[in-house]
Amino acid sequence: MTISMYSASIPVFSHMLSNLSHLLDKAQAHAEARKFDATALTQYRLAPDMLPFTRQVLIACDAAKNGIARISGVEAPKFEDKETTFPELKERIQKTLDYLASVPAGKMDGTEDKDITFPIGRETTRTMKAQAYLLTWASPNMFFHITTAYAILRHNGVELGKADYLAGAARA
């Protein structure tokens, strides 16, 4: 059975990245209300061998844009990875959302059996069919980094709940 590759990817990625932007708004407000430097949050990591919050956001964006680019063949924008503040991270999310919005459904649908070769680390690649890549690699990767960003903020006292993660600013 085939799925709509477009429906299973771009709306989902866009929704979750918009929710991530909402999490950043709440984190910024938290830092301002408590009068501390937001860098304490943007550079925080849950464990010594984990990447900090900023990298979690950048990788979530990259997982979405690069995954869609590999499947659709629509070239993704290149970002310099220099964002360090909440406004810069929100801009990165918005640029990713703009790219996702530019990819037409016709470039996604019908690609289920397309071979996707992608890097695993610095020296290795892996090849999967596009549907398997979307469902078992690209989507879980984006969700992992958004979830980790959420956990970092929660751990640091930002008042977030499941509704913020799932519904973002659209929550009731």
Give residue-wise pLDDT tens across range 94-116.
999 999 999 999 999 999 999 99
Phi-psi region of 110 (alpha: psi -120 to 50; beta: other; left: phi over 0): left
pLDDT at 171: 60
pLDDT digits (tens, 9 = 90+) for 53-84: 999 999 999 999 999 999 999 999 999 999 99
pTM, rounded to two decimals: 0.94
Tell me the backbone φ, ψ of residue 82, rounded to 5 degrees: -110, 5
Q: Tens digit of pLDDT for each residue in 1-37?
A: 568 999 999 999 999 999 999 999 999 999 999 999 9
Digit-coded pLDDT (tens) for 131-161: 999 999 999 999 999 999 999 999 999 999 9
Compare 168 and 124 and report the one with higher pLDDT. 124
pLDDT at 96: 98
Domains and CATH numbers, the chain: 10-108+130-167 (1.20.120.450)
User: What is the DSSP track for 6-67?
Assistant: TTTTHHHHHHHHHHHHHHHHHHHHHHHHTT--THHHHT--SSTTSPPHHHHHHHHHHHHHHH
Q: Report the DSSP pairing between strands 115-120 and 124-129.
A: antiparallel
Task: Pick the closest to residue 74 from 104, 96, 98 (CA basis).
Answer: 104
Confidence class of residue 172 from pLDDT cuts 50, 70 and 90? very low
Question: Residue 119 has what pLDDT?
Answer: 93
Are 159 and 171 in contact by the 8 Å Cβ rule? The answer is: no
Cα angle 51-103-125, degrees, rounded to a multiple of 5: 45
In this predicted structure, what is the pLDDT of residue 170? 74
Contact 163, 88 (CB under 8 A): no
Element (H, E) at 129: strand 124-129
Q: Could you give the C-alpha distances from 151 to 1, 12, 62, 76, 160, in angstroms and in order?
A: 35, 20, 19, 28, 9
